[in-house]
Amino acid sequence: ISSDVLHGNLSQRKREYVLTNFRQGKIRLLITTDLSARGLDIPQVDLVILTSPPQ
């Protein structure tokens, strides 16, 4: 499964690159911090697993 990570230590350019690839289906699994838990709307996402609530 193609995957990538998204977190606050990435540059804005890298975050946009990862999100673009995820939206286009090039990445099937996105592992992220609560950075993207709020405000992301990606209609193709069927399942979100939150293991630790944002603090």
What's the whole-model pTM score?
0.80
Q: Residue 44: what pLDDT?
A: 87
- Domains in the chain: boundaries: 1-55
Tokens of 5: 């990570």
Residue 35 has pLDDT above 80, yes or no: no
7-28 pLDDT tens trace: 889 999 999 999 999 999 999 9
Q: What is the CA radius of gyration of the chain?
A: 11
Query: Alpha helix (H) ranges present in 1-55?
Result: 12-23
Domain 1-55 matching CATH 3.10.129.10: the answer reads no
